[in-house]
Amino acid sequence: MPQHINAQQLPGDEAVPAAEPHAGHLPPDRAIETQADLSAEINALADAYARALKDGGAVETQPRLDYPPYRSSILRHPTKSLHHADPETIELYSPAFGHQDVHALESDLTIQHNGEPQGERIIVAGKVLDGDGRPVAGQLVEIWQANAAGRYIHKRDQHPAPLDPNFTGIGRCITGPDGSYRFTTIKPGAYPWKNHLNAWRPAHIHFSMFGTEFTQRIITQMYFPGDQLFPLDPIYQTIVDQDARDRLVAKYDHSLTEPEWALGYTWDIVLTGPKRTWTENEALGAEGDEE
């Protein structure tokens, strides 16, 4: 089970106002930019992308590293273009994870404490596929999220919403032979952050995945359908293409919903295409965990 609830104290402007009296009700002093200011920037970038597409520009399937409305990215994005490289040697393999690493119960985030967590119990399930549509079997999936009230257990999160003594918000699993994963958890709440005045993140679950090659490594966020905060959120909007953004939104799936128990959401993850040839693949022999 996750042992690490030793929250780190991290400085940063994404933290919400300190939990003083009135915090969360009064505007924080330094966040003078409003949602209207940010939305104007977001919309201008969206319009420019739409025009570029119309003029035959390339579809952008990944987030922009340089996306000024997400203020923390301004000093943290590379300004030189990424260097095109052929992956070599070690990059064509992935670390192996297995049942030595992850206990089966770690995929249920609702049973990590003595009582039931507050909130709406949900099942999130899907498959991890590579760019060729092949299942990624026996690989590690990690998730973390806020509780139903939109509060992370992280010490730096001082959003004055309640912590839940029965919810940590960390899960792990190893994908099945068909690339499948499945978590039982609580639907996370939206939460405020300090990108600008009245900034709120749409409810999301952080996902971390490995492929069969290290070049396929991805950390991303899964969202819930119909969230009214999507157009306002500078992080979701770092992906300027609507079809690409839609790939982060789970689908409600009634066939996954369990009677008298939990609502079901389906979300598949597609990694980038594998680069290794079959010969190299087979040369390695059996991979991963033997169990």
Residues tagged active-site: 152, 191, 201, 204, 206
Q: How many CB atoms lie within 10 A of CB 250?
A: 20
CB of 9 to another protein, least distance (A): 8
CB of 141 to another protein, least distance (A): 12
Q: Which residues of 251-273 are buried (b: 16+ CB within 10 A; e: fewer)?
A: eebeebeeeeebbbbebebbbee
Nearest CB to another protein, comparing residues 243 and 260: 243
Q: Does 19 bind another protein (CB under 8 A)?
A: no
Q: Does 90 bind another protein (CB under 8 A)?
A: yes
Supply φ then ψ for residue 124, to 5 degrees: -120, 120
Nearest CB to another protein, comparing residues 193 and 262: 193
**29 contacts: CB under 8 Å, gap ≥ 6:** none
Say if CB 105 and CB 46 are below 8 A apart: no
CB of 205 to another protein, least distance (A): 11
**238 contacts: CB under 8 Å, gap ≥ 6:** 63, 64, 67, 70, 73
Supply φ then ψ for residue 241, to 5 degrees: -95, 125
CB of 5 to another protein, least distance (A): 6
Within 200-229, which residues bind another protein (CB under 8 A)?
A: 206, 208, 214-215, 217-221
How many residues contact another protein, by CB under 8 A? 98
Say if CB 200 and CB 191 are below 8 A apart: yes
Within 93-152, which residues bind another protein (CB under 8 A)?
A: 93-102, 129, 131-134, 140, 142-144, 146, 152
Nearest CB to another protein, comparing residues 5 and 261: 5
Q: Judging by DSSP bridges, how do beta strands 269-270 and 121-129 pair with one another?
A: parallel
Nearest CB to another protein, comparing residues 12 and 259: 12
Within 245-284, which residues bind another protein (CB under 8 A)?
A: 245, 247-248, 269-273, 275, 278, 284
Among 14, 41, 227, 253, binds another protein (CB under 8 A): 14
CB of 258 to another protein, least distance (A): 26
DSSP state of 26: B
Within 59-88, which residues bind another protein (CB under 8 A)?
A: 61-65, 67, 70, 72-88
From the list 76, 64, 36, 48, the residue with the least C-alpha distance to 231 is: 36
